[in-house]
Structure 1
Amino acid sequence: MRNILVTGSVDGIGMRTAAQLLAEGHRVVLHARNEERAAIAKAAFPAAAGIAVGDLRSLDETKALAGSLAAFGRFDTIVHNAGIARLDSPERELTGDGLESTFQVNVLAPYLLTALLAQPERLVFVSSAMAADGVVDLADLQYDSRPWNGTEVYSTSKLLDLMLAVAVARRWPGTLSNAVDPGWVRTKMGGDMAPTSPGDAARAQVRLATGTDPDVLVSGHYFSERDWRPSEASLDPALLDDLLAHCGNLTGVQLPEDSSSPATTTPSTR
Protein backbone atom coordinates (compact mmCIF):
# COMPACT_ATOMS: atom_id res chain seq x y z
CA MET A 1 0.00 0.00 0.00
CA ARG A 2 1.31 3.41 -1.02
CA ASN A 3 0.47 6.84 0.40
CA ILE A 4 -0.59 8.88 -2.65
CA LEU A 5 -1.74 12.44 -3.30
CA VAL A 6 -3.78 13.21 -6.42
CA THR A 7 -4.39 16.89 -7.06
CA GLY A 8 -7.54 17.96 -8.90
CA SER A 9 -9.31 14.75 -7.93
CA VAL A 10 -12.96 15.87 -7.75
CA ASP A 11 -13.80 15.13 -11.39
CA GLY A 12 -12.35 14.10 -14.74
CA ILE A 13 -9.16 12.07 -15.02
CA GLY A 14 -8.11 12.92 -11.48
CA MET A 15 -11.29 11.41 -10.05
CA ARG A 16 -10.80 8.20 -12.07
CA THR A 17 -7.16 8.05 -10.99
CA ALA A 18 -8.17 8.30 -7.33
CA ALA A 19 -10.87 5.66 -7.80
CA GLN A 20 -8.47 3.18 -9.38
CA LEU A 21 -5.83 3.75 -6.71
CA LEU A 22 -8.39 3.23 -3.95
CA ALA A 23 -9.63 0.06 -5.64
CA GLU A 24 -6.05 -1.24 -5.57
CA GLY A 25 -5.96 -0.69 -1.81
CA HIS A 26 -3.74 2.38 -1.64
CA ARG A 27 -4.03 5.21 0.89
CA VAL A 28 -5.21 8.11 -1.23
CA VAL A 29 -5.48 11.78 -0.28
CA LEU A 30 -7.71 13.87 -2.52
CA HIS A 31 -7.52 17.57 -3.35
CA ALA A 32 -10.30 20.07 -4.05
CA ARG A 33 -10.08 23.79 -4.71
CA ASN A 34 -12.86 24.71 -2.26
CA GLU A 35 -15.06 23.26 0.48
CA GLU A 36 -18.04 22.75 -1.82
CA ARG A 37 -16.04 20.55 -4.16
CA ALA A 38 -14.42 18.81 -1.19
CA ALA A 39 -17.89 17.74 -0.03
CA ILE A 40 -18.54 16.22 -3.45
CA ALA A 41 -15.27 14.29 -3.27
CA LYS A 42 -15.97 13.11 0.28
CA ALA A 43 -19.35 11.74 -0.78
CA ALA A 44 -17.86 10.01 -3.83
CA PHE A 45 -14.87 8.54 -1.99
CA PRO A 46 -15.67 7.79 1.65
CA ALA A 47 -12.67 5.43 1.76
CA ALA A 48 -10.17 8.19 0.96
CA ALA A 49 -7.62 8.97 3.67
CA GLY A 50 -8.61 12.64 3.54
CA ILE A 51 -9.41 15.63 1.39
CA ALA A 52 -7.17 18.70 1.37
CA VAL A 53 -8.58 22.02 0.22
CA GLY A 54 -6.70 24.79 -1.54
CA ASP A 55 -7.16 27.01 -4.59
CA LEU A 56 -4.10 26.68 -6.82
CA ARG A 57 -4.83 30.15 -8.22
CA SER A 58 -3.44 31.53 -4.96
CA LEU A 59 0.16 31.23 -3.77
CA ASP A 60 -0.95 31.63 -0.16
CA GLU A 61 -3.61 28.95 -0.49
CA THR A 62 -1.18 26.60 -2.24
CA LYS A 63 1.33 27.09 0.56
CA ALA A 64 -1.41 26.49 3.14
CA LEU A 65 -2.46 23.39 1.20
CA ALA A 66 1.07 22.04 1.47
CA GLY A 67 0.97 22.69 5.20
CA SER A 68 -2.29 20.78 5.64
CA LEU A 69 -1.01 17.91 3.53
CA ALA A 70 1.93 17.46 5.88
CA ALA A 71 -0.51 15.92 8.37
CA PHE A 72 -0.83 12.89 6.08
CA GLY A 73 2.88 12.12 6.31
CA ARG A 74 5.35 11.70 3.49
CA PHE A 75 3.70 10.73 0.23
CA ASP A 76 5.17 7.85 -1.73
CA THR A 77 3.71 9.31 -4.92
CA ILE A 78 2.37 12.72 -5.86
CA VAL A 79 0.25 12.95 -9.00
CA HIS A 80 0.14 16.56 -10.24
CA ASN A 81 -3.14 16.21 -12.12
CA ALA A 82 -4.85 19.56 -11.44
CA GLY A 83 -4.96 22.03 -14.30
CA ILE A 84 -7.04 24.58 -16.15
CA ALA A 85 -7.48 25.43 -19.83
CA ARG A 86 -8.71 28.74 -21.21
CA LEU A 87 -8.35 27.80 -24.86
CA ASP A 88 -10.89 30.26 -26.24
CA SER A 89 -10.23 33.09 -23.82
CA PRO A 90 -9.73 36.40 -25.65
CA GLU A 91 -7.36 37.90 -23.09
CA ARG A 92 -5.08 37.21 -20.15
CA GLU A 93 -6.61 36.54 -16.76
CA LEU A 94 -4.58 37.53 -13.72
CA THR A 95 -4.96 35.93 -10.31
CA GLY A 96 -4.93 37.81 -7.01
CA ASP A 97 -1.15 37.37 -7.03
CA GLY A 98 -0.91 39.27 -10.31
CA LEU A 99 0.12 36.11 -12.16
CA GLU A 100 -1.31 34.72 -15.40
CA SER A 101 -3.85 32.11 -14.25
CA THR A 102 -3.02 29.19 -16.58
CA PHE A 103 0.68 29.48 -15.79
CA GLN A 104 0.03 29.77 -12.06
CA VAL A 105 -2.28 26.74 -11.81
CA ASN A 106 -0.62 24.45 -14.35
CA VAL A 107 3.05 25.23 -13.70
CA LEU A 108 3.74 27.22 -10.54
CA ALA A 109 1.35 25.22 -8.33
CA PRO A 110 2.91 21.79 -9.03
CA TYR A 111 6.36 23.32 -8.64
CA LEU A 112 5.42 24.90 -5.32
CA LEU A 113 3.81 21.76 -3.89
CA THR A 114 6.82 19.71 -4.98
CA ALA A 115 9.18 22.15 -3.30
CA LEU A 116 7.20 22.36 -0.05
CA LEU A 117 6.19 18.72 0.50
CA ALA A 118 8.58 16.02 1.67
CA GLN A 119 10.46 14.49 -1.25
CA PRO A 120 8.43 11.51 -2.54
CA GLU A 121 9.58 8.33 -4.23
CA ARG A 122 7.63 9.22 -7.38
CA LEU A 123 6.28 12.31 -9.07
CA VAL A 124 3.82 12.26 -11.96
CA PHE A 125 3.33 15.50 -13.89
CA VAL A 126 0.31 15.43 -16.21
CA SER A 127 1.31 16.99 -19.52
CA SER A 128 -0.48 16.80 -22.87
CA ALA A 129 0.10 16.08 -26.53
CA MET A 130 -0.60 19.79 -26.97
CA ALA A 131 2.84 20.36 -25.46
CA ALA A 132 4.06 19.88 -29.03
CA ASP A 133 2.70 23.37 -29.81
CA GLY A 134 4.17 25.01 -26.72
CA VAL A 135 6.55 27.94 -27.14
CA VAL A 136 8.90 28.40 -24.20
CA ASP A 137 10.35 31.85 -23.53
CA LEU A 138 11.69 32.12 -19.99
CA ALA A 139 11.85 35.89 -20.36
CA ASP A 140 8.09 35.97 -20.97
CA LEU A 141 6.63 32.94 -19.19
CA GLN A 142 3.30 34.66 -18.54
CA TYR A 143 2.72 36.20 -21.97
CA ASP A 144 3.20 39.74 -20.73
CA SER A 145 4.74 40.75 -24.07
CA ARG A 146 3.83 37.99 -26.50
CA PRO A 147 0.50 38.10 -28.35
CA TRP A 148 -2.17 36.34 -26.29
CA ASN A 149 -3.43 33.03 -27.60
CA GLY A 150 -5.29 30.83 -25.12
CA THR A 151 -4.49 27.59 -26.95
CA GLU A 152 -0.80 28.38 -27.20
CA VAL A 153 -0.69 29.42 -23.55
CA TYR A 154 -2.19 26.09 -22.48
CA SER A 155 0.16 24.18 -24.79
CA THR A 156 3.12 26.07 -23.37
CA SER A 157 2.04 25.29 -19.81
CA LYS A 158 1.93 21.58 -20.65
CA LEU A 159 5.40 21.75 -22.22
CA LEU A 160 6.62 23.48 -19.07
CA ASP A 161 5.09 20.67 -16.98
CA LEU A 162 7.06 18.16 -19.03
CA MET A 163 10.21 20.25 -18.53
CA LEU A 164 9.54 20.45 -14.78
CA ALA A 165 9.35 16.66 -14.59
CA VAL A 166 12.75 16.35 -16.24
CA ALA A 167 14.24 19.24 -14.25
CA VAL A 168 13.18 17.66 -10.96
CA ALA A 169 14.47 14.27 -12.13
CA ARG A 170 17.88 15.86 -12.64
CA ARG A 171 17.81 17.69 -9.31
CA TRP A 172 16.43 14.73 -7.31
CA PRO A 173 18.08 11.44 -8.34
CA GLY A 174 16.26 9.82 -5.41
CA THR A 175 12.85 10.41 -7.00
CA LEU A 176 11.33 8.94 -10.14
CA SER A 177 9.93 12.06 -11.80
CA ASN A 178 8.08 11.67 -15.09
CA ALA A 179 5.50 13.36 -17.31
CA VAL A 180 2.55 11.69 -18.98
CA ASP A 181 0.28 12.57 -21.89
CA PRO A 182 -3.16 11.13 -21.03
CA GLY A 183 -4.30 11.45 -24.64
CA TRP A 184 -7.38 13.14 -26.10
CA VAL A 185 -9.86 12.36 -23.35
CA ARG A 186 -13.64 12.64 -23.05
CA THR A 187 -13.70 15.34 -20.39
CA LYS A 188 -15.13 18.85 -20.15
CA MET A 189 -12.14 20.11 -22.11
CA GLY A 190 -11.73 17.18 -24.50
CA GLY A 191 -15.38 16.98 -25.51
CA ASP A 192 -17.65 14.05 -26.32
CA MET A 193 -15.84 13.13 -29.55
CA ALA A 194 -12.51 12.35 -27.86
CA PRO A 195 -11.46 8.71 -28.37
CA THR A 196 -10.03 8.05 -24.90
CA SER A 197 -12.19 7.46 -21.83
CA PRO A 198 -11.22 9.11 -18.52
CA GLY A 199 -10.78 5.64 -17.05
CA ASP A 200 -8.26 4.61 -19.70
CA ALA A 201 -6.40 7.89 -19.28
CA ALA A 202 -6.29 7.37 -15.52
CA ARG A 203 -4.70 3.95 -15.96
CA ALA A 204 -1.60 5.57 -17.44
CA GLN A 205 -1.27 7.78 -14.38
CA VAL A 206 -1.86 4.88 -11.99
CA ARG A 207 0.80 2.84 -13.77
CA LEU A 208 3.38 5.56 -13.23
CA ALA A 209 2.22 6.09 -9.66
CA THR A 210 2.42 2.48 -8.52
CA GLY A 211 3.71 0.22 -11.31
CA THR A 212 6.66 -2.10 -10.76
CA ASP A 213 7.51 -3.13 -14.32
CA PRO A 214 10.87 -1.88 -15.65
CA ASP A 215 9.20 0.41 -18.19
CA VAL A 216 7.98 2.76 -15.45
CA LEU A 217 10.92 2.46 -13.07
CA VAL A 218 12.65 5.28 -14.91
CA SER A 219 13.01 9.01 -14.40
CA GLY A 220 13.00 12.09 -16.57
CA HIS A 221 10.79 10.47 -19.22
CA TYR A 222 7.74 11.60 -21.16
CA PHE A 223 5.12 8.86 -21.55
CA SER A 224 2.85 9.20 -24.56
CA GLU A 225 1.32 6.93 -27.19
CA ARG A 226 1.91 9.63 -29.80
CA ASP A 227 5.05 10.05 -31.87
CA TRP A 228 5.99 13.58 -30.75
CA ARG A 229 8.83 13.98 -28.26
CA PRO A 230 10.32 17.19 -26.83
CA SER A 231 13.32 18.67 -28.60
CA GLU A 232 16.80 18.45 -27.13
CA ALA A 233 16.80 22.24 -26.93
CA SER A 234 13.76 22.28 -24.62
CA LEU A 235 15.49 19.78 -22.32
CA ASP A 236 18.83 21.55 -22.23
CA PRO A 237 20.11 21.26 -18.63
CA ALA A 238 20.85 24.98 -18.39
CA LEU A 239 17.31 25.81 -19.55
CA LEU A 240 15.82 23.38 -17.04
CA ASP A 241 17.85 24.89 -14.21
CA ASP A 242 16.72 28.36 -15.30
CA LEU A 243 13.08 27.22 -15.25
CA LEU A 244 13.45 26.00 -11.67
CA ALA A 245 15.10 29.29 -10.76
CA HIS A 246 12.27 31.31 -12.31
CA CYS A 247 9.67 29.25 -10.45
CA GLY A 248 11.62 29.67 -7.24
CA ASN A 249 11.80 33.42 -7.67
CA LEU A 250 8.10 33.78 -8.50
CA THR A 251 6.96 31.66 -5.54
CA GLY A 252 9.65 32.64 -3.06
CA VAL A 253 10.39 28.94 -2.49
CA GLN A 254 13.44 27.18 -3.88
CA LEU A 255 13.45 23.46 -4.68
CA PRO A 256 15.47 21.74 -1.93
CA GLU A 257 18.45 19.54 -2.60
CA ASP A 258 17.93 15.80 -2.95
CA SER A 259 17.34 14.17 0.44
CA SER A 260 16.73 10.57 -0.60
CA SER A 261 18.69 7.54 -1.66
CA PRO A 262 19.20 7.12 -5.42
CA ALA A 263 16.11 5.90 -7.24
CA THR A 264 15.98 2.75 -9.36
CA THR A 265 17.45 4.41 -12.43
CA THR A 266 19.49 7.41 -13.41
CA PRO A 267 17.37 10.27 -14.79
CA SER A 268 17.22 10.34 -18.56
CA THR A 269 15.90 12.83 -21.05
CA ARG A 270 15.53 10.27 -23.82
Structure 2
Amino acid sequence: MMMGVVDIGFFNLLAGYALILVVLVMLRQRYIKKETELLIAVMRMTIQLVLVGYILDYILGSQRMWMTLAAVAIMEAFAVQNIYQRVKIDMTPRFRSIIACSMAFGTIITMIFFFFVLLSVKPWYSPRYVIPLSGMLIGNSMTGITLGAERLLRGFHDKKELIEGALMLGATPERASREIVNESFTAAILPTINSMVGMGIVFLPGMMSGQILSGVPAVTAIKYQMAIMFAILASVAFTVFILVVWGSKTFFNDRAQLVLYG
Protein backbone atom coordinates (compact mmCIF):
# COMPACT_ATOMS: atom_id res chain seq x y z
CA MET A 1 0.00 0.00 0.00
CA MET A 2 1.32 3.43 -0.91
CA MET A 3 1.81 5.78 2.01
CA GLY A 4 1.99 9.55 1.87
CA VAL A 5 0.03 12.25 0.11
CA VAL A 6 -0.81 12.13 -3.60
CA ASP A 7 0.53 15.32 -5.14
CA ILE A 8 -1.92 17.46 -7.12
CA GLY A 9 -0.42 18.60 -10.40
CA PHE A 10 -0.60 22.19 -11.58
CA PHE A 11 -3.03 21.47 -14.40
CA ASN A 12 -5.14 19.27 -12.14
CA LEU A 13 -5.43 22.13 -9.68
CA LEU A 14 -6.21 24.52 -12.51
CA ALA A 15 -9.09 22.27 -13.51
CA GLY A 16 -10.53 22.80 -10.04
CA TYR A 17 -11.32 26.38 -10.97
CA ALA A 18 -13.96 24.97 -13.32
CA LEU A 19 -16.06 24.38 -10.21
CA ILE A 20 -15.93 28.11 -9.52
CA LEU A 21 -17.24 28.76 -13.04
CA VAL A 22 -20.19 26.48 -12.29
CA VAL A 23 -21.00 28.51 -9.18
CA LEU A 24 -20.73 31.73 -11.19
CA VAL A 25 -23.21 30.38 -13.72
CA MET A 26 -25.61 29.50 -10.91
CA LEU A 27 -25.37 33.02 -9.49
CA ARG A 28 -25.93 34.57 -12.89
CA GLN A 29 -28.96 32.41 -13.66
CA ARG A 30 -30.58 33.37 -10.36
CA TYR A 31 -29.68 37.07 -10.83
CA ILE A 32 -27.73 37.06 -7.57
CA LYS A 33 -25.29 39.97 -7.71
CA LYS A 34 -22.40 38.19 -6.02
CA GLU A 35 -20.15 37.35 -8.96
CA THR A 36 -17.62 40.08 -8.24
CA GLU A 37 -17.51 39.22 -4.55
CA LEU A 38 -16.93 35.55 -5.35
CA LEU A 39 -14.16 36.29 -7.84
CA ILE A 40 -12.40 38.59 -5.39
CA ALA A 41 -12.66 35.92 -2.69
CA VAL A 42 -11.17 33.26 -4.98
CA MET A 43 -8.34 35.55 -6.10
CA ARG A 44 -7.52 36.59 -2.53
CA MET A 45 -7.58 33.00 -1.33
CA THR A 46 -5.27 31.88 -4.15
CA ILE A 47 -2.73 34.65 -3.63
CA GLN A 48 -2.78 34.37 0.15
CA LEU A 49 -2.36 30.60 0.18
CA VAL A 50 0.49 30.66 -2.34
CA LEU A 51 2.34 33.31 -0.34
CA VAL A 52 1.68 31.54 2.95
CA GLY A 53 2.88 28.26 1.45
CA TYR A 54 6.30 29.67 0.62
CA ILE A 55 6.54 31.51 3.95
CA LEU A 56 5.62 28.38 5.90
CA ASP A 57 8.21 26.33 4.03
CA TYR A 58 10.85 28.80 5.17
CA ILE A 59 9.60 28.97 8.78
CA LEU A 60 9.27 25.18 9.08
CA GLY A 61 12.82 24.79 7.85
CA SER A 62 14.28 27.40 10.20
CA GLN A 63 12.89 26.09 13.53
CA ARG A 64 13.43 29.52 15.11
CA MET A 65 11.31 30.50 18.09
CA TRP A 66 10.93 34.16 17.17
CA MET A 67 9.60 33.23 13.72
CA THR A 68 6.96 30.95 15.23
CA LEU A 69 5.87 33.60 17.73
CA ALA A 70 5.84 36.27 15.02
CA ALA A 71 3.63 34.08 12.83
CA VAL A 72 1.14 33.56 15.68
CA ALA A 73 1.13 37.31 16.47
CA ILE A 74 0.42 38.14 12.82
CA MET A 75 -2.45 35.65 12.75
CA GLU A 76 -3.89 37.23 15.91
CA ALA A 77 -3.62 40.73 14.43
CA PHE A 78 -5.28 39.75 11.16
CA ALA A 79 -8.05 37.91 13.04
CA VAL A 80 -8.84 41.01 15.13
CA GLN A 81 -8.87 43.19 12.01
CA ASN A 82 -11.16 40.70 10.31
CA ILE A 83 -13.57 40.88 13.24
CA TYR A 84 -13.68 44.67 12.97
CA GLN A 85 -14.57 44.38 9.29
CA ARG A 86 -17.19 41.66 9.69
CA VAL A 87 -19.12 43.31 12.53
CA LYS A 88 -21.37 45.77 10.71
CA ILE A 89 -22.66 47.62 13.79
CA ASP A 90 -20.84 50.69 15.09
CA MET A 91 -18.39 49.99 17.91
CA THR A 92 -16.72 52.36 20.33
CA PRO A 93 -12.92 52.36 20.69
CA ARG A 94 -13.37 50.77 24.11
CA PHE A 95 -15.45 47.93 22.67
CA ARG A 96 -12.85 47.39 19.95
CA SER A 97 -10.08 47.17 22.52
CA ILE A 98 -12.10 44.58 24.45
CA ILE A 99 -12.42 42.52 21.27
CA ALA A 100 -8.64 42.60 20.79
CA CYS A 101 -7.91 41.77 24.43
CA SER A 102 -10.43 38.94 24.61
CA MET A 103 -9.09 37.47 21.37
CA ALA A 104 -5.48 37.57 22.54
CA PHE A 105 -6.03 36.49 26.15
CA GLY A 106 -8.50 33.67 25.44
CA THR A 107 -6.50 32.10 22.61
CA ILE A 108 -3.08 32.43 24.26
CA ILE A 109 -4.26 30.82 27.50
CA THR A 110 -5.69 27.92 25.51
CA MET A 111 -2.53 27.59 23.40
CA ILE A 112 -0.33 27.39 26.49
CA PHE A 113 -2.44 24.60 28.00
CA PHE A 114 -2.80 22.79 24.67
CA PHE A 115 0.87 22.74 23.69
CA PHE A 116 2.38 22.24 27.15
CA VAL A 117 -0.19 19.87 28.69
CA LEU A 118 -2.19 18.09 25.99
CA LEU A 119 0.52 17.70 23.33
CA SER A 120 3.75 18.26 25.28
CA VAL A 121 5.44 19.44 22.10
CA LYS A 122 9.25 19.51 22.21
CA PRO A 123 10.49 22.05 21.48
CA TRP A 124 7.37 23.92 22.53
CA TYR A 125 7.77 26.42 19.69
CA SER A 126 7.95 23.77 16.95
CA PRO A 127 6.35 25.59 13.98
CA ARG A 128 5.08 22.33 12.46
CA TYR A 129 2.68 22.02 15.39
CA VAL A 130 2.27 25.55 16.73
CA ILE A 131 1.40 27.41 13.51
CA PRO A 132 -1.33 25.16 12.02
CA LEU A 133 -2.92 24.27 15.36
CA SER A 134 -2.83 27.87 16.59
CA GLY A 135 -4.47 28.85 13.31
CA MET A 136 -7.37 26.52 14.08
CA LEU A 137 -7.82 28.02 17.54
CA ILE A 138 -7.56 31.60 16.30
CA GLY A 139 -9.85 31.03 13.32
CA ASN A 140 -12.63 29.43 15.35
CA SER A 141 -12.30 32.05 18.09
CA MET A 142 -12.52 34.79 15.46
CA THR A 143 -15.81 33.36 14.22
CA GLY A 144 -17.11 33.02 17.77
CA ILE A 145 -16.24 36.59 18.72
CA THR A 146 -17.82 37.91 15.52
CA LEU A 147 -21.08 36.12 16.30
CA GLY A 148 -20.96 37.16 19.95
CA ALA A 149 -20.22 40.81 19.21
CA GLU A 150 -22.97 41.04 16.58
CA ARG A 151 -25.54 39.48 18.92
CA LEU A 152 -24.45 41.60 21.89
CA LEU A 153 -24.54 44.90 20.00
CA ARG A 154 -27.85 44.13 18.35
CA GLY A 155 -29.34 42.88 21.59
CA PHE A 156 -28.65 46.10 23.45
CA HIS A 157 -30.18 48.17 20.65
CA ASP A 158 -33.25 45.95 20.18
CA LYS A 159 -33.98 45.58 23.91
CA LYS A 160 -33.24 49.13 24.98
CA GLU A 161 -36.67 49.66 26.58
CA LEU A 162 -36.50 46.40 28.54
CA ILE A 163 -33.07 47.23 29.92
CA GLU A 164 -34.07 50.76 30.89
CA GLY A 165 -37.24 49.42 32.51
CA ALA A 166 -35.22 46.95 34.58
CA LEU A 167 -32.82 49.71 35.64
CA MET A 168 -35.74 51.92 36.72
CA LEU A 169 -37.03 49.07 38.88
CA GLY A 170 -33.70 48.88 40.69
CA ALA A 171 -31.86 46.18 38.75
CA THR A 172 -28.09 46.46 38.46
CA PRO A 173 -26.56 46.81 34.98
CA GLU A 174 -25.33 43.22 35.23
CA ARG A 175 -28.80 41.93 36.08
CA ALA A 176 -30.53 44.07 33.47
CA SER A 177 -28.25 42.82 30.68
CA ARG A 178 -27.87 39.23 31.84
CA GLU A 179 -30.28 37.78 29.28
CA ILE A 180 -28.57 39.54 26.37
CA VAL A 181 -25.12 38.50 27.58
CA ASN A 182 -26.18 34.87 28.00
CA GLU A 183 -27.90 34.77 24.60
CA SER A 184 -24.82 36.26 22.93
CA PHE A 185 -22.52 33.73 24.58
CA THR A 186 -24.77 30.82 23.64
CA ALA A 187 -25.14 31.95 20.02
CA ALA A 188 -21.36 32.25 19.67
CA ILE A 189 -20.40 28.80 21.00
CA LEU A 190 -23.37 26.89 19.52
CA PRO A 191 -21.76 26.35 16.07
CA THR A 192 -18.74 24.73 17.73
CA ILE A 193 -20.95 22.47 19.84
CA ASN A 194 -23.04 21.51 16.79
CA SER A 195 -19.91 20.60 14.83
CA MET A 196 -18.78 18.36 17.70
CA VAL A 197 -22.13 16.56 17.69
CA GLY A 198 -21.88 15.58 14.01
CA MET A 199 -18.16 14.90 14.01
CA GLY A 200 -17.16 11.36 13.13
CA ILE A 201 -20.62 10.29 11.94
CA VAL A 202 -21.92 13.06 9.69
CA PHE A 203 -18.48 14.22 8.54
CA LEU A 204 -14.76 13.73 9.11
CA PRO A 205 -13.08 16.97 10.18
CA GLY A 206 -10.31 18.50 8.07
CA MET A 207 -7.44 17.89 10.47
CA MET A 208 -8.29 14.22 10.90
CA SER A 209 -8.82 13.73 7.16
CA GLY A 210 -5.48 15.38 6.38
CA GLN A 211 -3.61 13.12 8.78
CA ILE A 212 -5.28 10.01 7.41
CA LEU A 213 -4.41 11.08 3.85
CA SER A 214 -0.78 11.51 4.87
CA GLY A 215 -0.64 7.95 6.20
CA VAL A 216 -1.13 8.54 9.95
CA PRO A 217 -3.04 5.69 11.67
CA ALA A 218 -6.73 6.53 12.12
CA VAL A 219 -6.56 6.05 15.90
CA THR A 220 -3.73 8.60 16.18
CA ALA A 221 -5.63 11.02 13.96
CA ILE A 222 -8.70 10.62 16.16
CA LYS A 223 -6.74 11.46 19.30
CA TYR A 224 -5.33 14.60 17.68
CA GLN A 225 -8.81 15.62 16.51
CA MET A 226 -10.31 15.13 19.96
CA ALA A 227 -7.53 17.17 21.57
CA ILE A 228 -7.86 20.06 19.12
CA MET A 229 -11.66 20.10 19.49
CA PHE A 230 -11.33 20.33 23.28
CA ALA A 231 -8.97 23.25 22.76
CA ILE A 232 -11.18 24.93 20.13
CA LEU A 233 -14.24 24.77 22.38
CA ALA A 234 -12.27 26.18 25.30
CA SER A 235 -10.69 28.92 23.18
CA VAL A 236 -14.04 30.01 21.72
CA ALA A 237 -15.68 29.92 25.16
CA PHE A 238 -12.88 31.88 26.85
CA THR A 239 -12.66 34.59 24.20
CA VAL A 240 -16.43 35.04 23.86
CA PHE A 241 -17.00 34.99 27.62
CA ILE A 242 -14.49 37.80 28.13
CA LEU A 243 -16.02 39.74 25.24
CA VAL A 244 -19.67 39.56 26.31
CA VAL A 245 -19.02 40.14 30.01
CA TRP A 246 -16.65 43.09 29.61
CA GLY A 247 -18.23 44.32 26.40
CA SER A 248 -21.63 44.63 28.08
CA LYS A 249 -20.12 47.04 30.62
CA THR A 250 -19.37 49.54 27.84
CA PHE A 251 -23.12 50.19 27.49
CA PHE A 252 -23.41 51.66 30.98
CA ASN A 253 -21.88 54.80 32.49
CA ASP A 254 -20.64 55.33 36.04
CA ARG A 255 -24.19 56.10 37.21
CA ALA A 256 -25.52 52.76 35.92
CA GLN A 257 -27.35 54.42 33.02
CA LEU A 258 -27.74 52.80 29.63
CA VAL A 259 -25.61 54.49 26.97
CA LEU A 260 -26.13 53.40 23.38
CA TYR A 261 -24.04 54.44 20.42
CA GLY A 262 -24.29 54.08 16.68
- Does the pair score TM above 0.5? no
Smaller-chain TM-score range? 0.3 to 0.5
Higher relative contact order (CA 8 A, sep 6+): 2
Is the radius of gyration larger for structure 1 or structure 2? 2
Counting strand residues as a fraction of each chain, which structure ranks higher? 1
What's the TM-score, normalizing by structure 2?
0.33
What's the TM-score, normalizing by structure 1?
0.32
Counting helix residues as a fraction of each chain, which structure ranks higher? 2
